[in-house]
Amino acid sequence: MSAALLEVRDVVRSFGGVRAVDGASLDVEAGSITSLIGPNGAGKSTLFNIVSGFLRAEAGTIAFEGRRIDRLPPHRIAQAGLGLVPEGRQIFPTLTVEENLIATAASRFATPRWTLDAIYDFFPQLAGRRQHMGNELSGGEQQMLAIGRALMTNPKLLILDEATEGLAPMLRLDIWRCLARLKDEGQAILIVDKHLSALVKLADRHIIIEKG
C-alpha cells in the first residue's frame, strides 16, 4: 500500500509547560478532503503551523509523500507541495492583489494548474482589483486572495484554517462553492472550519481533536 499524502504521527508541542498538541496523529489521502474538528484552543492551528514549518514539534514525525518534512523550513515545505491558508488570512496589506499572488508563485510543474490568469479566472472579483492594496479589499475578497496566494504555490495539499471566519453568510457560501470546485478537480484539502453543516457536505473524512 502506498503512503498517505500527509502522515502526522504523535506530534507534541507545548507552550509554557502546557501541551497545546499532545500526541496528535492523522493521515490525509491524495485527492481527499479531510476536516479537523475541535473546540477553540484544541490545538488545530498549532498543528497546522507545525505541519507547515512555522512552529517546531517537540516530538513526533511528519511525512509528505513518504518523505520527512518535520525538520524543513516553511519555504521548503511549501516547495514540497503543501500550501497553507493561515488563520486570519495574513495577506500583505500594503502589497497589491497581484503582488500578493506573485509573492508565493512557484511551480514544480511545466504547465502549472495555477497561474495569475487561472487565479483571476477562478476568482473573478480579484481580477477587477489586481492593482488594489490588500488592505483595500473586503473581508471576502481578502479571503479569496489568501486562498489564491496558497494556490499560486500549486499545492498538492491545500490546508485551510478557518477560511470562512468573520464572513457574512453570502460570502461564506462563495468560499464553500470555490472549495467544492477544487474538490471536483481532485485537489486534496485539510480544513478546519466552525461551520459544520457545510463542512460535512464537503469533506470525505473527519478527524476529531479535543485537547491536543
Stretch that binds Mg ion, among 23-31, 45-53, 55-63, 96-104 (CB under 5 A): 45-53
In angstroms, rounded to a whole number, what is the distance separating the alpha carbons of residues 154 and 86? 16
34: contact with Mg ion by CB under 5 A: no
In angstroms, rounded to a whole number, what is the distance separating the alpha carbons of residues 170 and 174? 7
The DSSP symbol for 108 reads S
Q: Which is nearer to ligand ADP, 14 or 115 (CB)?
A: 14
Minimum distance of ligand ADP from residue 163's CB (angstroms): 13
Minimum distance of Mg ion from residue 26's CB (angstroms): 16
Q: Give the binding-site size for Mg ion (rule: CB under 5 A).
A: 3
| Best CA proximity match to 62, nearest among 113, 3, 146 | 3
164: contact with Mg ion by CB under 5 A: no
Ranges within 69-128 binding Mg ion (CB under 5 A): 87
Minimum distance of ligand ADP from residue 24's CB (angstroms): 10
Q: Are strands 59-64 and 18-28 parallel, antiparallel or unpaired?
A: unpaired
Q: Which is nearer to Mg ion, 49 or 142 (CB)?
A: 49
Report how far apart, in Å, the C-alpha atoms of 35 and of each of 1, 9, 40, 47, 76 are.
23, 17, 15, 13, 24
Cell numbers 496558497 label which residue?
A: 150
Report the residue from 23, 25, 41, 131 that binds ligand ADP according to the rule CB under 6 A.
41
20: contact with ligand ADP by CB under 6 A: yes
